[in-house]
Amino acid sequence: MRPIREVLEAKSVAVIGASRDQEKPGAQLLKVLKRVGYQGNVAGVNPQGGEVFGNTLYRSLEEIPFDVDLAVLLIPPRFVPDALRECARKGVKGVVISAEGFAETGPQGAKYQEEVSAILKSTGMRGFGPNTLGLVNTATKLTTSYFANSWMLMPGSIGFAAQSGIFVGALLRYLSSINGLHLSKGIGLGNKVDVNEADALSYLMDDEQTKIIGLYLEDVKDGRMFMENLRKAVAKKPVLIIKSGRTQAGARASASHTASLAVEDAVFDGAIRQAGAIRLTGIDDFIRTLRGFLNMPLPKGDRLAFVTYSGAQAIMSIDAAIEHGLQVASLSEATQARIAKVIATSSKTKNPIDIFPDWLAHGYEKTTSEILKALLDDDGVDGIVFISFADATPEVYQPMADILKGDRRKPVFLSLLGDIKDKEACQKFLDANGLPCYDFPEYAVRVFAHMRQYARIKERPSE
């Protein structure tokens, strides 16, 4: 079977169903490919010919004067089988089938999908979809989404595959608005008539641009191959999985969404955990976890130190740490002595370290810097959570940022509470300096737990 790498790294694209109406999806995709800087050959196919946005519209695929690696089918389901046969005659390597109206809609749609599957198998072409916006390769500026723009195609290190029609495009738009969170590759699986999550894992695990893999799944097409590829992928890089359909109601909804078959959630959960993947509850959990993995080293142990101005938040964070199977670090006497130079109240030099009101004597920047350096040097501390307020002047965190730029021995997280405008300014500053910051410290604890879970997998002796 042809590797999907040949399709994701396509050097030429044909848009079948490209309209002369500039507002229609096919015309918009041709416009997007030009705007984002895709360097390959591009052509549109429209039985009436013509041109749109400076692109020639050929009357048939056979008229296109160059080889076509990837064809994007923006046509109704009933026309798809004949279009696929034409693609096969042209020697097309892979297709993205964007239309809805296949197995997720009923018997007639299922019949179309079965015909599509048979054509793909007999010809060796790879098929993405149906019911998907398709592919993104930020290294080559390839996209089959007519919603994409240049900012969304900025190269990143997150490889993401989703069993959904529009989800990859929507997630791409969201991630690209967050500093430091850009995709390497995006793969829309849709109904998975051919390419499935096992294929996506096989490609993303070997893709040098991809440093971390994310999956959104509603079911699993080939359980044996998926688990085999998942174990191989986890050995190379973290794999974060969002699996919906956890409840009976959710499973019913997924059946009408992408014709998914229910998977017993407890079985799925146990299997992927055994393989070493990290199961997440939703997009917010995914985004927070990405911040940790992309910016901080893996923790070498389970012991967390907390620095706080609020005893209440520290206590809730400690509860969260214990619930996640972590430990509260015991600080060495040497560490406590160093902390005592900026925190006069002896009871506040222990874990959790309470900096209020003592920091007023030395200033926030000096106090936090000295405590951070002491905790980084303590071999009994594996991770640090700073619980602070959102300052009107984000630069107060500059000394901490400077320390961590040269010392990434341990993961360090911040949590800020305060005025929303101050918080947004601080978040932007911390993002730019690669420091994960969360609304509440319990979130930081959860991310640390995810990272520690993966670190244990990496610590296993190789078989």
Give the DSSP letter string of 71-92: EEE-S-GGGHHHHHHHHHHHT-
Pairwise CA distance, residues 240 & 281, whole Å: 10
Q: Are 201 and 245 part of one and the same domain?
A: yes
Backbone angles phi, psi at 348, to 5 degrees: -90, 0
Side chain identity, residue 111: K
Side chain identity, residue 41: N
Pairwise CA distance, residues 222 & 174, whole Å: 30
Which of 291, 318, 343 finishes a domain?
291
Which of 257, 291, 325 finishes a domain?
291
Which of 291, 306, 337 finishes a domain?
291
| Residue whose structure tokens are 């015909």 | 115
Pairwise CA distance, residues 48 & 280, whole Å: 48
User: What is the DSSP secondary structure assignment for residue 365, as one 8-state letter?
Assistant: H
Pairwise CA distance, residues 264 & 219, whole Å: 10
> Which tokens go with 26?
């096919």
Pairwise CA distance, residues 315 & 84, whole Å: 61
Q: Are 316 and 442 part of one and the same domain?
A: yes
Residue 86's domain comprises 5-291
Q: Are 275 and 327 part of one and the same domain?
A: no
User: What is the DSSP secondary structure assignment for residue 177, as one 8-state letter?
Assistant: T
Side chain identity, residue 295: N
C-alpha torsion angle, residues 316, 319, 325, 331 (rounded to 10): 80
- What SS3 class is residue 53? coil
Backbone angles phi, psi at 261, to 5 degrees: -100, 140
Contact at 8 Å (CB) between 75 and 129?
no
Q: Are 264 and 378 part of one and the same domain?
A: no
Burial class (CB in 10 A: 0-12, 13-18, 19+), 405: exposed
Helices of type H across 207-275: 223-234, 248-258, 265-275
- What SS3 class is residue 240? strand
Q: What is the pLDDT along the chain (463 residues), one digit of tens a residue?
A: 899 999 999 999 999 999 999 999 999 999 999 999 999 999 999 999 999 999 999 999 999 999 999 999 999 999 999 999 999 999 999 999 999 888 888 888 889 999 999 999 999 999 999 999 889 999 999 999 998 889 999 999 999 999 875 666 677 788 888 878 899 999 999 999 999 999 999 999 999 999 999 999 999 989 999 999 999 999 999 999 999 765 555 445 544 444 444 567 888 999 999 999 999 998 899 999 999 999 999 999 999 999 999 889 999 999 999 999 999 999 999 999 999 999 998 889 999 999 988 888 898 999 999 999 999 999 999 999 999 989 889 999 999 999 999 899 999 999 998 899 999 999 999 999 999 999 999 999 999 999 999 999 999 876 5
CATH, residue 93 = 3.40.50.261
Length of the chain: 463
Number of domains in the chain: 2
Q: Are 304 and 275 part of one and the same domain?
A: no
Q: Are 317 and 278 part of one and the same domain?
A: no
Q: Are 450 and 319 part of one and the same domain?
A: yes
Q: Are 359 and 428 part of one and the same domain?
A: yes
User: What is the DSSP secondary structure assignment for residue 138, as one 8-state letter?
Assistant: T
- The pTM assigned to this predicted structure is 0.92
Pairwise CA distance, residues 283 & 105, whole Å: 27
Q: Are 339 and 190 part of one and the same domain?
A: no
Which of 301, 304, 331, 297 minimizes the C-alpha distance to 404? 297
Q: Are 327 and 224 part of one and the same domain?
A: no
